[in-house]
Structure 1
Amino acid sequence: MTLNDTSKQLNSWSAFGRFFRQEFLPVLTNLRLAIVMFLAIALFSITGTVIEQGQSHAFYQANYPEHPALFGFLTWKVIQVVGLDHVYRTWWFLSLLILFGTSLTACTFTRQLPALKAARRWKFYEEPRQFQKLALSAELETGSLSSLTPLLQKRRYKIFSEPEKDNILYARKGIVGRIGPIIVHIGMVTILLGAIWGTMTGLMAQEMVASGDTFQVQNIIDAGPLAASISKDWSVKVNRFWIDYTPKGGIDQFYSDLSVLDSQGKEIDRKTIFVNQPLRYRGITFYQTDWGIAAVRVRINKSPIFELPMTQLNTKNSGRIWGTWIPTKPDLSAGVSLLARDLQKTLLIYDSTGKLINTMRAGMSAEVNGVTLKVLDVIGSTGLQIKSDPGIPIVYAGFALLMLGVVMSYFSHSQIWALQKDDRLYVGGKTNRAQVAFEQEVLDILDQLNSPTSSEEPSILTEKIS
């Protein structure tokens, strides 16, 4: 490479740097742009909450048909083409998070950090005319820096002075208020990083497990591209599933007693879960979300006990019903249908023509088609939603930083200058917020400086509050 080529390359990089600083960076750190991106993130997050995520193609066709389209435009085709069925993993949503985080980071380095650096620097006022520029200033006939210093220290001001110049003073407090916005930005960026990491590495699964069964997490319905596989050296057993009902027959709460088993079947953890009280193990959370009827145990005359699976029937949104068919002849030429609505163990028996012939409860017997049918038990099944989100601790840490930064931002950064010259004491100050409280504080200090210490009555020559 020749010297001329090197010079051209350096000029190109210099031109790019100027473009970045003068054109791109001001746009990136623009407050209006940040607000627009924040609102867009909030809007799409709401969309991802309202529209079911990670469901099957048939689910969206059934719930978001083309005719009539929801709101006139929202159909299953729009949802799946745009990616509203997996909002948090779409390239455009992740790009929006990255762009917003980049904007916050750029704003922190170009505005907040320089503001903090400027606030940490101090300068002394050595001429009376400098006090005229302050929002609050006063000129006193009496008083001294030595009497002003303890008054400021009592109000937690940090005092700065020069040993060789004993007639000037600078004091400040609330520098933490300048750090607060930086902590807020760090917290928000941390939340965004946690959300992105959780999206890329998290997974979600669903399992419907009968009471008494043991299972391993297999039915994964949604997973990030960097999600790790779930270890197979442990499993979960549903010791028992049950439902508490209200006096009117409605569901009050449903519970699952779960045990985590190691590869030898030894119990290593156990918890009864219900809505909003999940089981957590190895970063995986088991939520109680659904229920069903898995099977029914019956005996015909003196036969062995049969456990027959029950299937949820299509009732066209008129309620949940599970049913099974029970043969009443050895050659399976005749039988009855057994239906149940819930786990209160009330069952309906229908003949082959669809006529209701009997109603019974678990533990009871009935004569049907010339045989004795006894229902011993109705076995429930628990619907579990299983999630792994490694980004949650990062998000929680970000929220903690965000709240800390908000609290810190409420502290006012107050500054006071003083100059003693020609038998006059000049005092002035300014603050970035809580202006009225600051003015009252300064006036109280001036009143104490003005309090009589001799027979001569001191006075304030000039005072300015604007």
Structure 2
Amino acid sequence: MDKIKCECGHVNPEGTVLCEACGKPIEGNQHIDGNDKKTLLNMRYEGSARRSKTYTNSIVDKIWSFFSSVKVGVWLIVIALIASALGTIYPQAEYIPPEAVSRDPAVFYEATYGITGKIYYQLGLHELYGSWWYMILLALIGVSLVICSLDRYIPLRRALKIQKPKRHETFIKRQRFFSETEHVTTDEIHSVKEKLQQQRYKITEENGHILAEKGRFSRWGPYVNHIGLIIILIAALLRQTPLLFLDEYVWVREGEQTVIPGTDGEYYIENKKFIFETYSEEDGEIYKEALEKQEAMVPKNYQTNAVIYKKKGETVAGADPELEVVKEAEIRMNEPAKIGNGFTLYQAGYQLNEFHTMSFKVHRTDDQNEKALGTFTVDMNNPKHEYELDNGLTVKIDQYYPEYELDDGEPRSISKFPRNPAFVFLIYPPNETKPEVSFVGIGKNIDPTNENEYKLGIVDFDMRHVSGLTVRKDYTLPIFILGALIFMIGVIQGMYWQHRRIWIHPKGNGVLLAAHTNKNWHALKQNIEKAIANTSIKIVEDQQELDKDVSKRGGES
């Protein structure tokens, strides 16, 4: 950057409005209007040179100038907030309920929310927070914060570091708080210094010129805020990496053992028993009225008594892994189980009385005693397509409805969980290629042709509970907390303290007194009144108010 040399000898960067050392206005800023009314100095950033306002020719300069604009930063944040709000209209794809008919977003959103859900999916809002454009938007906000901060912090810090007690007279006279006293004694000046020190002002002197300053650190509050926000944005971006964040869902049936998702097959869980307890009137009168209004059971506790296993060594292809017990845990709501490597299991849902197996028998339609010609058992979670019976009969499953329901006369399944199973069976007699069709479910046994020679019937069934667990790993949470803590420090730093400066400028036998603060002018004036009490130094006047009065009188005349 080019340099501008002030008459005080200090060399300022090009674009400086007020000399960093003496405060003298540069580039014709000494203007006084026709009413001899002093124009107050613009003390924003101490009148220091900002790169975005000085260089605007090259591509880099234009990009820097664009992102250094507070308006650009605000608009980026507004766009991000609007986008984030749109993402909450319907659940994100990762939070599609496990019991949904289909977890395929293309099917789920239209089936559940109609045409608006279809539009929501087609616009890509179902995976908003992990989308490339949302990540770029967050990155742009971070870039804006960094450039905004550097563009202002560096010159401001330089100007405040270089400032001297001896200031140019124009700088003193064009402060908002100003007074001029013609006769002041040395003892009175000494008294003012002591009283300012008692108010915790730092006193700096140069050839009789005095600068009393306190609370400079409050000027860095906004920049501390920006650091906190940048850390929060980094945490949000890191949240998209599976190494630092994982949020998966797993169903574990009683008596079953399954791999815990997200652990790369390292950890397994076995559901020993699922416990479901509900409130009853015996729990107290307070629940009686609520229970009478409820049509369904009110859960009191649901938990999974589980065993967590860890794989030992490498597994031979095709062989079951060798496991060792890591821990036994009772996983309840708000009482998760930590299993190591940052993974935590949370009790999140359940399915009661899910059909595990169902046994059927085949008998002749005209057999009054319904003597079984053969039996077979269907695993509801992994049904086979074909079952061969001992007497030569073959039964095939043509349609399977885990949770059967009629919709406008058409059978369909409202979920993938076997809570009300129904089947369309094809029965092939020995040496026959044309099958008989039967529809069998709970309380349903339909022969659509009324000509079937064979009939199917339910013999037995086995039911069990299913536990729904959330598997979570989150290493980004400490980063979020750190960013929020730094942000709050910046808020407190800038809200509860103010940067206050008082200049005492000797002039002949008297002094010029001026003061400036970034906010809370009333408190600054009280500090000055306390310091100059019992002296002949005149109290400062608010020249901004005088300017308003002069302008008002000029308008009235």
TM, length-normalised to structure 2: 0.59
- In the TM superposition, residue 88 of structure 1 has moved relative to its aligned partner by 2.0
Q: Which residue of 2 aligns with 1:150?
A: 194
Q: Would you say 1:136 and 2:177 are equivalent positions?
A: yes
Q: 1:37 aligns with which of 28, 53, 76?
A: 76
Q: 2:251 corresponds to which letter in structure 1?
A: M
Q: Distance in 1 between matches of 2:114 and 2:121?
A: 17
Q: Which residue of 1 aligns with 2:398?
A: none
List per-residue Cα deviations over 1:86-130 (Å, max 9, x = no partner): 112222111111111111111111113322332333222356664
| 3-state SS of 1:323 partner | coil
Q: Distance in 2 between matches of 1:258 and 1:434?
A: 61
Q: Would you say 1:267 and 2:326 are equivalent positions?
A: yes
Instruction: Check whether the contact 2:404–2:421 (CA below 8 A) recurs between aligned residues.
Output: no
| 3-state SS of 2:541 partner | strand
CA separation of 1:35/1:125 partners in 2, compared to 1, >3 Å: closer, same or farther? Answer: same
Q: Would you say 1:313 and 2:376 are equivalent positions?
A: no
Q: Distance in 2 between matches of 1:98 and 1:85?
A: 21
Q: Distance in 1 between matches of 2:248 and 2:198?
A: 61
Q: Distance in 2 between matches of 1:212 and 1:154?
A: 76
Q: Distance in 1 between matches of 2:439 and 2:73?
A: 68
Q: 1:251 corresponds to which letter in structure 2?
A: P
**Structure 1 residues 367-382: aligned runs within 5 Å:** 379-382=464-467
- In the TM superposition, residue 209 of structure 1 has moved relative to its aligned partner by 0.6
Q: 2:144 aligns with which of 103, 106, 112?
A: 103
CA separation of 1:41/1:384 partners in 2, compared to 1, >3 Å: closer, same or farther? Answer: same
Q: Which residue of 2 aligns with 1:359?
A: none
Runs of 5+ unmatched residues, structure 2: 1-54, 97-101, 281-290, 292-296, 312-322, 360-376, 382-400, 408-412, 423-437, 447-456, 544-557
Q: Which residue of 1 aligns with 2:347?
A: 288
Q: Which residue of 2 aligns with 1:398?
A: 483
Q: Which residue of 1 aligns with 2:205?
A: 161
- In the TM superposition, residue 420 of structure 1 has moved relative to its aligned partner by 4.1
Instruction: Check whether the contact 1:279–1:285 (CA below 8 A) recurs between aligned residues.
Output: yes
Q: Distance in 1 between matches of 2:202 and 2:404?
A: 75
Q: Which residue of 1 aligns with 2:516?
A: 430
Q: Which residue of 2 aligns with 1:63?
A: 109
CA separation of 1:321/1:232 partners in 2, compared to 1, >3 Å: closer, same or farther? Answer: closer
Q: Distance in 1 between matches of 2:525 and 2:344?
A: 54
Instruction: Check whether the contact 1:295–1:309 (CA below 8 A) recurs between aligned residues.
Output: yes
CA separation of 1:127/1:99 partners in 2, compared to 1, >3 Å: closer, same or farther? Answer: closer
Q: 1:87 corresponds to which letter in structure 2?
A: L
- In the TM superposition, residue 404 of structure 1 has moved relative to its aligned partner by 1.6
- In the TM superposition, residue 232 of structure 1 has moved relative to its aligned partner by 2.8
- In the TM superposition, residue 258 of structure 1 has moved relative to its aligned partner by 4.2
Instruction: Check whether the contact 1:145–1:169 (CA below 8 A) recurs between aligned residues.
Output: no
Instruction: Check whether the contact 1:145–1:420 (CA below 8 A) recurs between aligned residues.
Output: no
Work out which of the two has the higher radius of gyration on C-alpha atoms and give 1 or 2.
2
Q: Would you say 1:245 and 2:284 are equivalent positions?
A: no
Q: Distance in 2 between matches of 1:130 and 1:252?
A: 73
- In the TM superposition, residue 292 of structure 1 has moved relative to its aligned partner by 0.6
Q: Which residue of 1 aligns with 2:250?
A: 207
Q: Distance in 2 between matches of 1:291 and 1:463?
A: 73
- In the TM superposition, residue 462 of structure 1 has moved relative to its aligned partner by 6.0
- In the TM superposition, residue 207 of structure 1 has moved relative to its aligned partner by 0.9
- In the TM superposition, residue 426 of structure 1 has moved relative to its aligned partner by 3.7
| 3-state SS of 2:166 partner | coil
Which protein has greater RCO, CA pairs closer than 8 Å, 6+ apart?
A: 1
Q: Distance in 1 between matches of 2:538 and 2:200?
A: 27
Q: 1:323 aligns with which of 420, 423, 448?
A: 420
Q: Distance in 2 between matches of 1:420 and 1:241?
A: 85
Runs of 5+ unmatched residues, structure 1: 1-15, 219-228, 300-305, 326-333, 339-349, 354-368, 451-457
How many percent identity over aligned positions?
A: 20
Q: 1:388 aligns with which of 448, 473, 481?
A: 473
- In the TM superposition, residue 425 of structure 1 has moved relative to its aligned partner by 4.2
Q: 2:351 corresponds to which letter in structure 1?
A: G
- In the TM superposition, residue 58 of structure 1 has moved relative to its aligned partner by 4.2
Q: Distance in 2 between matches of 1:278 and 1:442?
A: 59
- In the TM superposition, residue 177 of structure 1 has moved relative to its aligned partner by 1.4
- In the TM superposition, residue 392 of structure 1 has moved relative to its aligned partner by 3.1
Count of paired positions: 383
| 3-state SS of 1:125 partner | coil
CA separation of 1:401/1:269 partners in 2, compared to 1, >3 Å: closer, same or farther? Answer: farther
Q: 1:438 corresponds to which letter in structure 2?
A: L
| 3-state SS of 2:128 partner | helix
Q: Distance in 2 between matches of 1:175 and 1:268?
A: 55
Q: Which residue of 2 aligns with 1:11?
A: none
Instruction: Compare 424-433 and 383-392 and name the one that shifted more.
Output: 383-392
| 3-state SS of 1:322 partner | coil
Q: Which residue of 2 aligns with 1:358?
A: none
Q: Distance in 2 between matches of 1:123 and 1:269?
A: 70
Q: 2:541 corresponds to which letter in structure 1?
A: K
CA separation of 1:269/1:438 partners in 2, compared to 1, >3 Å: closer, same or farther? Answer: farther
Q: 1:173 aligns with which of 202, 214, 219?
A: 214
Q: 1:414 corresponds to which letter in structure 2?
A: R
Q: 1:407 corresponds to which letter in structure 2?
A: I
List per-residue Cα deviations over 1:147-192 (Å, max 9, x = no partner): 2233222222222224xx2x22112222221221111111111111
Q: Which residue of 2 aligns with 1:197?
A: 238
Q: 1:125 corresponds to which letter in structure 2?
A: K
- In the TM superposition, residue 442 of structure 1 has moved relative to its aligned partner by 2.0
CA separation of 1:20/1:159 partners in 2, compared to 1, >3 Å: closer, same or farther? Answer: farther
| 3-state SS of 1:399 partner | helix
Instruction: Check whether the contact 1:290–1:383 (CA below 8 A) recurs between aligned residues.
Output: yes
Q: Which residue of 2 aligns with 1:408?
A: 493
Q: How large is the RMSD of aligned CA atoms in angstroms?
A: 4.0
